[in-house]
């Protein structure tokens, strides 16, 4: 299946869907630094710079999937609370327009967990208005092979309708018991050996900020945020037993990207910390669900 990737960021949606077997035919990303990352990894794929000027009709019949996580700044609890009609999150109206113009078989929409009460009903109504059935769920990244607590809402819209008895997200197969093996793997891998001995010690531990000056050891990383470059959430202890901050390369791994995803791009420290989109393995799982469906 062919993909039009909107609000592309550094390519998390496309990387996940391509790992599931799809092909990206075009991006749309406003941030020039994120476009540098896309150009590095997809040098032959065109990049539109603004959803407001993107004509979706040019992709009618050329794409099977339109995907993207539209801006969350007006929806997030940590944001401006302006809602889905705010200056940035209001770009959903352009997303809706492009879906309606391109008429893909599927649309995949992602946003923060606060979206459940701050715009979900509007989006579902808009999708129905343009002829798309939709179903939604919340996935937490820690249950998809990466040690990060990151709850995100995913909507899958289907042009040709969803049968009443369909379980598109296969929720019955993703019980806590069946996800438990992944969590056990995370916890076991981060147990630190503190016994006196020579050589490097194994394990990796996250300490997540509880108050301004207090950190508690947890089994997984807190949710990555753009502000972490100046006001970080987590401290970690690795095999060297030194307490420190999470590095940009580790942030990539916590999102399911290769650690060198941002290498050789001359990005500033702030830019390296600012990329925190969707988690690649969760998107790959959704791509597989679409093929099953």
User: What pLDDT does 13 receive?
Assistant: 97
* The pLDDT of residue 238 is above 80: no
The model's pTM is 0.90
User: What pLDDT does 196 receive?
Assistant: 61
Pairing between β-strand 243-245 and β-strand 214-218 as defined by DSSP bridges? unpaired
pLDDT digits (tens, 9 = 90+) for 178-213: 666 666 666 665 666 556 655 555 667 888 888 777
Domain borders along the chain are 2-175+277-292, 179-274
Catalytic residue among 28, 67, 72, 179: 72
Q: Compute how many other C-beta atoms are within 10 angstroms of the C-beta atom of residue 173.
A: 9
User: What pLDDT does 207 receive?
Assistant: 86
User: What pLDDT does 229 receive?
Assistant: 84
User: What pLDDT does 189 receive?
Assistant: 59
5-to-29, 82, 95, 109, 208 alpha-carbon distances in Å: 9, 25, 11, 11, 33
* The pLDDT of residue 129 is above 90: yes
User: What pLDDT does 281 receive?
Assistant: 93
- Give me the residue label for tokens 């075009």: 26
Average pLDDT over residues 2-24: 97
Fold of 2-175+277-292: Rossmann fold (3.40.50)
**Helix, strand, coil percent content, the chain, rounded in steps of 5:** 35, 20, 45
Question: d(Cα 212, Cα 233) in Å, to the nearest integer?
Answer: 10
Known catalytic residue: 179?
A: no
Average pLDDT over residues 112-123: 88
Q: Is 50 helix (H, G, I), strand (E, B) or coil?
A: coil
Average pLDDT over residues 115-130: 92
Question: d(Cα 52, Cα 246) in Å, to the nearest integer?
Answer: 36
Distance from chain centroid for Cα 27: 16
User: What pLDDT does 76 receive?
Assistant: 67
User: What pLDDT does 285 receive?
Assistant: 94
User: What pLDDT does 268 receive?
Assistant: 92
Share of the chain above pLDDT 70, in %: 87
């Amino acid at each position: 299946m062919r993909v039009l990737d909107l609000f592309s960021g550094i390519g998390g949606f496309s990387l996940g869907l391509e790992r599931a077997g799809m092909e990206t035919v075009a991006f749309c990303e406003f941030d020039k630094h994120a476009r540098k990352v896309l150009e590095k990894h997809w040098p032959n794929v065109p990049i539109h710079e603004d959803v407001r000027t993107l004509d979706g009709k040019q992709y009618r019949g050329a794409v099977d999937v339109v995907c993207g996580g539209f801006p969350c700044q007006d929806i997030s609890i940590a944001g401006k609370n302006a809602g889905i009609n705010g200056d940035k999150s209001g770009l959903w109206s352009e997303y809706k327009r492009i879906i309606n113009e391109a008429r893909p078989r599927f649309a995949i929409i992602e946003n923060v967990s606060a979206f459940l009460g701050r715009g979900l009903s509007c989006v579902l109504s808009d999708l129905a208005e343009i002829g798309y059935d939709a179903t939604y769920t919340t996935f937490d990244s820690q249950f998809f092979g990466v040690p990060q607590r990151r709850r995100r809402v995913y909507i899958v819209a289907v042009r040709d309708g969803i049968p009443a008895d369909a379980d598109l997200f296969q929720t019955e197969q993703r019980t806590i018991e069946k996800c438990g093996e992944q969590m056990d793997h995370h916890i076991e891998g981060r147990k630190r050996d503190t016994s006196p001995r020579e050589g490097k010690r194994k394990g990796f531990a996250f300490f997540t900020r509880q108050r301004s000056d207090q950190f508690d050891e947890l089994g997984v990383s807190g949710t990555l945020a753009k502000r972490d470059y100046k006001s970080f959430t987590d401290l970690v202890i690795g095999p060297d037993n030194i307490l420190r901050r999470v590095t940009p390369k580790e942030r990539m791994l916590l999102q399911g990207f290769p650690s060198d995803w941002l290498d050789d791009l001359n990005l500033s420290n702030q830019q390296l910390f600012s990329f925190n989109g969707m988690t690649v393995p969760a998107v790959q799982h959704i791509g597989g669900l679409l093929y099953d469906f």
